[in-house]
Amino acid sequence: MSATPARLSIGQALAQLREEFPDSDIKESKIRFLESEGLVEPERTASGYRKYSDDDMERLRYILRAQKEQYLPLRVIGEHLDAMDRGDWLPGMVGRTPDVTDSDGMPSADSFRAVAANPNVRVSRRELIKTAAITPETLAELESYGLIKARPGTEYFEAEAILVAQIAGELGKFGIEPRHLRSFKAAADREVGFVEQVVAPIKRSREEGADGRAAQAVADIAALSIRLHATLVRAALRGLR
């Protein structure tokens, strides 16, 4: 049985947001105001204390980014959040998918952070099939092999699922089926396990800014490991040309 995800108090939520948005003037009063506007609805303990889930924190991050980067009013932000809750595309996001490559076609830490910074692309099953130009059967196969998963507790898919589905669709043109991609999933899981081992001591540190350094290390190591993998594959393929 999996453990219930930890929920943050309003003070802990504020501290995390201040670390991620150092230029923001976010205060507890603003978080409470956003709740009063119906943009975030944290759980309440029996004593009335607010407890913020991962989803609540994602919503708060989206609100702060939308205000800072796009200067959107709360009314429009609320419409965006409602659309995401329904599993619809965000306005202006149709046809756009994330990528983790730079101009040289190789991943960098910055490109990893850019994707992580926008976790709010959420699509329904129908929209995923349409956008990735795959069949329902292909999506079912990708799910059966663990290559794509709906967001836990929901029926919608996030940004990475769109990209995986599109790539799988393109590979299908060469006769490569979802079952052939299991080795890619296994390799990815091994790389994630390696990164977790390296970053674990940083996350356990009680020093100030440990969470930020851990996030930086994850992005750096992930980019370097994938660049190494891609370079080794590219070098090995020269013999096939």
In whole angstroms, how far apart are CA 11 and each of 28, 51, 131? 7, 10, 40
Give the span between the Cα atoms of 16 and 7, in whole angstroms. 12
What is the model's pLDDT at position 109?
A: 58
Looking at residue 115, its pLDDT comes to 52
Residue 84 has which token pair? 């995401």
Query: Which of 35-49, 77-91, 113-127 is predicted least confidently?
Result: 113-127
Residue 101 has pLDDT above 80, yes or no: no
- Res. 16: pLDDT tops 80: yes
Distances, alpha carbon 196 to alpha carbons 74, 191, 218, in Å? 37, 9, 8
Higher pLDDT, 214 or 44: 44
Mean pLDDT, range 137-155, rounded to an integer: 90
Rounded to the nearest 5°, which phi and psi values hold at 30? -70, -40
How far apart, in whole angstroms, are the C-alpha atoms of residue 193 and residue 116? Answer: 18
* Helix (DSSP H) and strand (DSSP E) numbers for the chain: 10, 4
The whole-angstrom separation of Cα 24 and Cα 64 is 8
- Predicted confidence at residue 60, as pLDDT, reads 93
Does the pLDDT of residue 3 top 60, yes or no? Answer: no
Summarize the confidence of residues 188-203 as an average pLDDT: 88
Place of tokens 């219930």: 4
End-to-end CA distance of the chain: 50
Average confidence (pLDDT) over 200-213? 82
Instruction: Output the pLDDT for position 2.
Output: 42
Which pLDDT band holds residue 47 (cuts at 50, 70, 90)? Answer: very high
**Lowest mean pLDDT: which of 6-15, 72-81, 112-121, 131-140?**
112-121
Average pLDDT over residues 27-55: 93
pLDDT at 73: 80
Residue 108 is predicted with a pLDDT of 59
- The CB-based long-range contact list for 22-31 (8 Å cut-off, 24+ gap) reads 23/68, 24/64, 24/68, 26/64, 31/60
Q: What is the pLDDT of residue 107?
A: 56
Looking at per-residue pLDDT, the higher value among 135 and 159 belongs to: 135
Question: Is the pLDDT score of 111 beyond 60?
Answer: no
Query: What residues contact residue 106 under an 8 Å CB cut-off, 6+ apart?
Result: 226, 227, 230, 231
Average pLDDT over the chain reads 81
DSSP letter at 222 equals H
In the chain, % of residues over pLDDT 70 = 81
Q: Check residue 45 and give its pLDDT.
A: 93
Question: How many alpha carbons fall within 13 Å on the CB side of residue 32?
Answer: 7
* Predicted confidence (pLDDT) at residue 113 exceeds the cutoff of 50: yes
Residues 6+ apart with CB under 8 A from 74: 34, 37, 39, 63
* Global confidence as pTM: 0.54
